[in-house]
Structure 1
Amino acid sequence: MRYEKGHRDATRKRIIAVAAQQLRKDGVGASGVAGLMASAGLTHGGFYSHFPSKDALIEEALHEAIEQVKAWLGSVVESNEDKLEAVIRAYLSPYHRDNPENGCVAGALAPEIARHSPAVREMFTQSIIEHVDMVASLLPASATPEARRSVARAIIAGTTGMIQLARAVDDEELSDQILEDGIAACLSLARSIAA
């Protein structure tokens, strides 16, 4: 059966998009090739005509997820006056907590990435460096660049841990309180650099 030009590329992009969501929602270990292909509306047999291995798909899907998060946080920065507070509140929001498939790769997958291939870890590391630079750029310019990067790393670690805890507990009120406490702690840390 012959397909029109571009069908193969479109199919590949669909598989990557589905995998980018499913990996964040279910985790790398729980996301098998058959399930990913079924979610993309395709058969398991067609997988290897697009990717040489599951690891190759994971690498591309995580790259896609990282790009989605950069776009999301970029739009938060662009559309708010208090940019850092908006980023922290968006990250530690009930929406982000309840929709990991659309959210941060670190918040959903950091423990699994730590045990993954060097190529995936290198890509993830680069994304964290870029995220640190973005958050540091939102901190007061009166502080030294290293002080801003240090606080940015602490904010990123804090927000990532808070979102993981908020997702893990089975008490919604406690989960909401973890998010609120995380926002307050990160904002306090950000304000301390200006003092």
Structure 2
Amino acid sequence: MRYDKEHKEQTRQRIVETASRRFREHGIEAEGVKSLMSASGLTNGAFYNHFASKEDLAREAVTAAMDERVAYLRRWIASGEGLQGMIESYFSIRHRDNPGRGCPTTVLAAEIARHSDDVRTAYTEGMLAFVELAATQWPALPADEAMSRAMSLYGLMAGTMQLARATSDARLSDRILESGRRAALAMVGSPP
């Protein structure tokens, strides 16, 4: 049975969204094609109708995850809460406890560094889009300084979340989140 182009694109999008979430939950290498396709409600034989390889899917899933984070920041800026609102949400227990829906950098950066140039480029483009958008929130600073500040903020956010997720002590994890939140708010000039 042949499906129309729209159905094929919707199926492809469903696979990418499932992979984006599951890669963040389990890691790219830990997630197999068979389990991804099953989670997408499809047979693993259908995979190659949409992707040349798992690496091809990883590139698209990383792109989707990074695009999601840029859209997330855009919503905070549009709401008028800007970086402060985004920071408050980012350093939440909800974000910490749901990596499949959160920041891909915190769970995939080390793994992405060992993937193909295509996957690394997809990540780089998404990270730069986020940082460039964040840098617009310091309009009084020279462009280079605003970019440096935005990169530092991004690193602080991702590193804090990694530490908070890695510790086995819930109270320490909460304290790490709170420390990161305060440091990030200080970087954007908001009272902690």
Where in structure 2 are the equivalents of 1:1-195 lying within 5 Å?
Answer: 1-3=1-3, 6-81=6-81, 83-139=82-138, 141-191=139-189
Secondary structure class of the residue paired with 2:162: helix
Map Cα deviations across residues 29-69 of structure 1 (whole Å, 9 max, x no partner): 11110110010111112211211111111111111111222
Among the aligned pairs, what percent are the same residue?
A: 41
- Cα displacement (A) at 1:2: 4.2
AA matched with 2:161:
I
CA–CA distance in structure 2, aligned partners of residues 8 and 142 of structure 1: 47
AA matched with 1:116:
H
CA–CA distance in structure 2, aligned partners of residues 5 and 60 of structure 1: 19
Structure 1 residues 153 and 3: alpha-carbon distance in aligned structure 2, compared to 1, 3 A threshold: closer
CA–CA distance in structure 2, aligned partners of residues 187 and 63 of structure 1: 27
CA RMSD after TM alignment: 1.7
- Cα displacement (A) at 1:4: 5.5
Question: Which segments of 5 or more consecutive residues in structure 2 lack a partner in the other structure?
Answer: none
CA–CA distance in structure 2, aligned partners of residues 147 and 20 of structure 1: 32
Assess if the C-alpha contact under 8 Å between 2:83 and 2:137 holds in 1. Answer: yes
- Cα displacement (A) at 1:184: 0.8
Moved more, 102-111 or 31-40: 102-111
- Cα displacement (A) at 1:12: 1.3
Map Cα deviations across residues 89-117 of structure 1 (whole Å, 9 max, x no partner): 22211121111111111112110111111
CA–CA distance in structure 1, aligned partners of residues 6 and 83 of structure 2: 41
Secondary structure class of the residue paired with 2:107: helix
TM-score when normalising by structure 1: 0.90
Q: State the 4+ residue runs in structure 1 displaced beyond 3 angstroms.
A: 1-5
AA matched with 2:61:
A
CA–CA distance in structure 2, aligned partners of residues 187 and 131 of structure 1: 17
Secondary structure class of the residue paired with 1:70: helix
Question: Which segments of 5 or more consecutive residues in structure 1 lack a partner in the other structure?
Answer: none
CA–CA distance in structure 1, aligned partners of residues 95 and 65 of structure 2: 14
AA matched with 2:24:
R
Secondary structure class of the residue paired with 1:6: helix
TM-score when normalising by structure 2: 0.92
- Cα displacement (A) at 1:163: 0.7
